[in-house]
Structure 1
Amino acid sequence: MKNNGFALRKSGVKEGFYYIDFEGEYQPEKIKKTTGISVEKILQIFSESNGVYSESLDVYYFDSEDAGSEAIKALVKLLKKSEHVRQVELTESEIEYIRRALINEDSNVIFTKGKIRESIFDKLNR
């Protein structure tokens, strides 16, 4: 299962168990650095979803896919409120500019007003 960078993975070390990683990180402290979600909140969610800590491997294990999935759902709700995600409003002409840029990515040719390009950069650099 993959969800906004979170993935539920089957353990290769502990048979029948699953763990959560976020973009390759599975330790709460490292997940915090990447997502902005506090370690305390991550640990609370893991605990509420029946996560069991393995001190020797420094990872939280879940005994079912459902338990791990529930933890991911709770984390994703917080992620959307964290610094990891931001919203930018674009006009139709700005969206069209980006669409053309993606379509013509390898050609280096986009014919449009420089004002639109500047407007997009201004919004993204806020």
Structure 2
Amino acid sequence: METAKVYFTDFRTQAFGDGLPTKLKKLVRRAGIADLDLEGKFVAIKLHFGELGNVSYLRPNYARALVDVVKELGGKPFLTDCNTMYPAAARTPSSTWNAHGRTASRRSRRAAPSSSATA
């Protein structure tokens, strides 16, 4: 069995240097995302949307960095979560949204444009 490759970047940043989202983009490129055929395909970006009082979740700017890379490669990215199996507020997609004060009308809103978008 082949030894798995592990890619790493540290969280240290310097003033006017690469921020963490830029480091994440470099990391996924180094890991070979461009070798995948993403053109015109839906690409799931699995993350944890978090639960009330929990701060251990992927920050939106990191998800945006991945979305940007997938779009650059012709993919159609979307965010998805896996709900919990234990009795919590996030057992179903609807209960997850409701637990975070989101309503059905707010669910359909598109994500904010990337910082790389031009006006």
Structure richer in strand, relative to its length = 1
TM range (shorter): under 0.3
TM-score by length of 2: 0.22
Which structure features the higher share of helix residues?
A: 1
TM-score (norm 1): 0.21
